[in-house]
Structure 1
Amino acid sequence: MLIHYILLVVGFVLLYYGAEWLVKGSSNFARSLGVTPLVIGLTVVAFGTSAPELVVSLVASIQNKSMIAVGNVVGSNICNIALVLGLAAFLMPITSNQSVVRRDIPLMLAISLFLLLISWNSTISRFEGVILFSGVILYTIYNYMISKKESALLAEGCFSDAEAELEDIGFIESRTKQITLIIVGIAGVVIGAQVLIDSAVIVMRQFGVGEKFIGLTIVAFGTSLPELATSVVAALRKEMDISIGNLIGSNVFNILSVIGAASMVRPIPIPGGFFESGLIIDYCMMLGVSILTWVMMRKSFTVSRTGGFILLCSYIGYLAYLIPNA
């Protein structure tokens, strides 16, 4: 059975580097075609960093592992706020601009509530998937318009958050290298998702746990690795706005694009029922840590070290609840 543990690690690694190569290759390719850095940052980079969650949930949906498909997104969103933001803030207090508190977090909460409402009947239908995926298109257009407006207000020589993030990726002139990175990145994410799901199911079932626990913990943590690495490094570099901006944006994309695309491929049933399966508690946890973050930031626009510690303790407490109920 050692091989399955090795494959689990291989799946994590392929997901992480696959997403990184996909973002790097596709952003450089778009840049070489004359697409502006702002547009690339809001589309290619945003979708690319959510590629692990997207592919994992699509594969799980196709394989009729619906609890992994949903659990991956809900668990990843909890992980992004409670673990990743908590750890980043514990290392370095995170201060962001007012728009995150007044616009982005409330929007994330509204979308999370909508997901709860459409899950109420224990099924996310294709039509509801279309609504969600349409939302990500509108969200991207909205962000583009807002960023264009904000960029116009910046002093000459400054960059928006999206453009600054793209500058960190670097530029590759060779078209061959760009295309190679895209192909290898897609292959890495797709193969990594398949390997991760298969090995995680085998390993976790040795301990007698179900798909919901697998999706909410192991798979969710694996697909959150890019956000974890990005946010911790950003916090250590004192680039706080990039750290929290990535996490909020990722959570919105996870719900709209990942659940949306997965349910369009195949309606997502919730085995045992939304309430009976206990998924309602996981949804409430996702909403709870998001509200907690908003409360922490609503006046000072900062998540302090104490706040980061509270978020980390929330995640540990959540794991303590999941394990006995697995």
Structure 2
Amino acid sequence: MLQLWLEFILMAIFIIISGTYLSKYGDIIADKSGLGQAFIGGILIAMATSLPELVTSVSSVIVGAPDIAVGNAFGSNTFNLVILAFADLLQGKGPLLLRVNYSHLLSGLVGILLSALVVFSLILSHFMNFNLSIFGVGIDSIILLFTYIVTVRMIYRYDKKNPLDPDDPVKEVDPNPDYTLNKALVGFLVCAVVIVFSGYRLSITADQISMLTGIDQSFMGSIMVAAATSLPELVATIAAIRIGSYNMAVGNVFGSNIFNMTIIFFADVFYTQGVLLDNVRIVHILTATVGIIMASIILIGLFYRSRRSFMWMGWDAIAAAVVYFAGVYLLFQLGLNVI
């Protein structure tokens, strides 16, 4: 048992380190390729930092642990949102959301939409036995991917027309003169390989720990695995806060949450025992609902822009954190008591 926990921790450390450098190389690639701010914060870096979640979830369904796969996707979303509460504490006095612009409302709402689609699909499959598929992939997963592609295009076009606030830090000189585009691409690929291996081993050890300890797969995926694979987002967000790039920090979180929902499609593709969402526990609706509530609180705070704070944190960040920890407690109770 001790060996399994040590391997789990070691693989998590590999993911943290590789995910951090993956984010760095992704930033360099975005800068040197001229993809623009939308891809830097909300799309490219978000996809880069979400690669651990993708690899771990796909590996989980391959080894026969679909609940870890789905729980990882939803759990990472809730963990990412609580990262914003931590970032609010780090950035100094006053609410963090006062420092970012309204354009994040769009990406936040898209994240809620995708989560709601999965919840709706879980309800249909579990209570109405509705599980249509195409070549073994659930029609719900296909709709999810299609919705992601359409909405990401909307976000990109909106960002082109409405760039981030002009008072955000502007890179007037190349911040990475020692890196060429090709060097950054090689570094990105190396980190990706490490994450693929680490994510695969992480999913195997998580499944084994679940079986030996009696800890439910849903809880393992939604809390422990999700926290481990979301640490690159935490590092990237803290780094953005330290340089005063608040829009980058918030964009990375919302962008990661959007991409995380497509993980369900890719996991479904590799799941060979039927339609993925038809073979996971209904308890995932709880994790998804917690994420939707947290995102709604943050978006309301972004729109309302209250200046009131407590212990340097905005009340929206505090409320989101309270919802998160309440959800963790409820999920733990359900994981132990619900079959």
TM-score norm. by structure 1 comes to 0.82
Q: Which one of 292, 306, 316 corresponds to residue 307 of structure 1? A: 316
Question: Which residue number corresponds to residue 55 of structure 1?
Answer: 55
SS of corresponding position for 2:112: helix
Quick check: 1:216 aligned with 2:219? Answer: no
Question: Which residue number corresponds to residue 276 of structure 2?
Answer: 268
Question: Which residue number corresponds to residue 115 of structure 1?
Answer: 118
Given the superposition, is the C-alpha separation of residues 308 and 64 from structure 1 closer, same or farther in structure 2, using an over 3 Å criterion? Answer: same
Quick check: 1:251 aligned with 2:264? Answer: no
SS of corresponding position for 2:304: coil
Which has the higher mean CA deviation after the structures are superposed, 307-316 or 50-59?
Answer: 307-316
Offset, 1:35: 4.8
Alignment of 1:110-189 (within 5 A): 110-120=113-123, 121-122=125-126, 125=133, 126=137, 127-151=139-163, 170=176, 172-174=178-180, 177-189=183-195
Given the superposition, is the C-alpha separation of residues 97 and 67 from structure 1 closer, same or farther in structure 2, using an over 3 Å criterion? Answer: same
Unaligned runs of 5+ in 1: none
Offset, 1:311: 2.4
Question: Which residue number corresponds to residue 72 of structure 2?
Answer: 72
Q: Which one of 95, 99, 103 corresponds to residue 103 of structure 2? A: 99
Q: Distance in 2 between matches of 1:154 and 1:293?
A: 19
Given the superposition, is the C-alpha separation of residues 38 and 287 from structure 1 closer, same or farther in structure 2, using an over 3 Å criterion? Answer: closer
Question: Which residue number corresponds to residue 292 of structure 2?
Answer: 287
Offset, 1:299: 1.2
The answer (yes or no) to whether the contact 2:80–2:257 under 8 Å persists in 1 is yes
Which has the higher mean CA deviation after the structures are superposed, 3-12 or 87-96?
Answer: 87-96
Q: Distance in 2 between matches of 1:209 and 1:124?
A: 31
Query: For this pair of structures, how many residues does the alignment match?
Result: 311
The answer (yes or no) to whether the contact 2:22–2:192 under 8 Å persists in 1 is yes
Offset, 1:89: 1.7
The answer (yes or no) to whether the contact 1:58–1:261 under 8 Å persists in 2 is yes
Question: Which residue number corresponds to residue 324 of structure 1?
Answer: 333
Q: Distance in 1 between matches of 2:203 and 2:299?
A: 33
Quick check: 1:297 aligned with 2:302? Answer: yes
Given the superposition, is the C-alpha separation of residues 290 and 43 from structure 1 closer, same or farther in structure 2, using an over 3 Å criterion? Answer: closer
Q: Distance in 1 between matches of 2:280 and 2:56?
A: 22
Offset, 1:233: 3.6
Offset, 1:270: 4.5
Q: Distance in 1 between matches of 2:44 and 2:162?
A: 20
Quick check: 1:7 aligned with 2:7? Answer: yes
The answer (yes or no) to whether the contact 2:57–2:70 under 8 Å persists in 1 is yes
Q: What is the percent sequence identity of the aligned residues? A: 22
The answer (yes or no) to whether the contact 1:47–1:253 under 8 Å persists in 2 is yes
Unaligned runs of 5+ in 2: none
Offset, 1:302: 6.9
Which has the higher mean CA deviation after the structures are superposed, 217-226 or 311-320?
Answer: 311-320
Give RMSD over aligned pairs: 3.0
The amino acid that maps onto 2:199 is A
Which has the higher mean CA deviation after the structures are superposed, 88-97 or 120-129?
Answer: 120-129
Q: Distance in 1 between matches of 2:197 and 2:308?
A: 37
The answer (yes or no) to whether the contact 1:112–1:287 under 8 Å persists in 2 is yes
The answer (yes or no) to whether the contact 1:297–1:303 under 8 Å persists in 2 is no
Q: Distance in 2 between matches of 1:25 and 1:233?
A: 14
Given the superposition, is the C-alpha separation of residues 186 and 273 from structure 1 closer, same or farther in structure 2, using an over 3 Å criterion? Answer: closer
Question: Which residue number corresponds to residue 205 of structure 2?
Answer: 199
Q: Distance in 2 between matches of 1:55 and 1:242?
A: 24
SS of corresponding position for 2:333: coil
CA offsets, 1:257-299, max 9 Å, x none? 211222233331454752xxx2222222121112222233321
SS of corresponding position for 1:323: helix
